[in-house]
Amino acid sequence: MAAAYHGGDRAELREAIRTIQDYPKPGIAFRDISTLLGNPRAFRRAVDELVQPYAGAGISKVAGIEARGFILGGAIAHQLSCGFVPIRKKGKLPHATVSISYSLEYGTDTMEMHVDAVSKGERVILVDDLIATGGTASAAVQLLQKLGAEVVAACFVIDLPELGGADRIRELGVPVRTLIAFDGH
Ligand code: AMP
């Protein structure tokens, strides 16, 4: 039988994440969730904890951000018995899309969704592995809102609170749920 969860005790998740210093460039500590995904207990626990507040909350779609948000989002959607919709980098989706451009440290990027991926008023949760500055997630929230979705929450395994991303999403009126936080970038 699965052990009961005790909200704050997330050492198992933290320990399952590998940190690669100075990747992809000097000064960045890359939080690699591939080790968490490869650990059966930690993967299950991360998904269960992300799902928990939304069971029975009338969510009809999970939107995942390419690419790690697809893995977590697919598992969450299955557990909530709801649909999954991908938010992808420009040029990857085959049908008619809506798009949004957002700023990166250098330059801009564009993400897209199929125009019919969600309908007006649908209750959606947004999922990615990590929130840093919140630029990616805030663009995804705006894309979902553009299609008329009600973004019930934005959910991440990891928060880097020093970069202020979660506050940026809350300013868009969307609650944020994260499981663990790391200091620094
Ligand atoms: P941001 O738009 O700054 O919130 O960056 C979030 C996106 O970049 C997510 O899709 C993350 O997977 C990725 N990302 C940003 N910083 C890191 C980091 N330190 N380790 C791993 N992934 C990161």
> Before 24, cis peptide (omega within 30)?
yes
Tell me the three state secondary structure of residue 44.
Answer: helix
Token pair listed for 95: 């049908």
Q: In CATH, what number does 8-181 get?
A: 3.40.50.2020
Question: What residues does ligand 1 touch, defined as CB less than 6 Å away?
Answer: 28-31, 65, 68, 128-137, 165
**Is 41 an annotated catalytic residue?**
no
Q: What is the pLDDT of residues 55-103, one digit of tens each?
A: 999 999 999 999 999 999 999 999 999 999 999 999 999 999 999 999 9
**Is 105 an annotated catalytic residue?**
yes
Q: Which phi and psi angles does 71 have, rounded to 5°?
A: -70, -50
Q: Ligand 1 mean position to 4 CA, how many Å?
A: 30
pLDDT category at 2 given cuts 50, 70, 90 is: very low
* 77 neighbors 103 (Cβ within 8 angstroms): no
Contacting residues for 117 by C-beta, under 8 A, at least 6 apart: 61, 63, 85, 86, 147
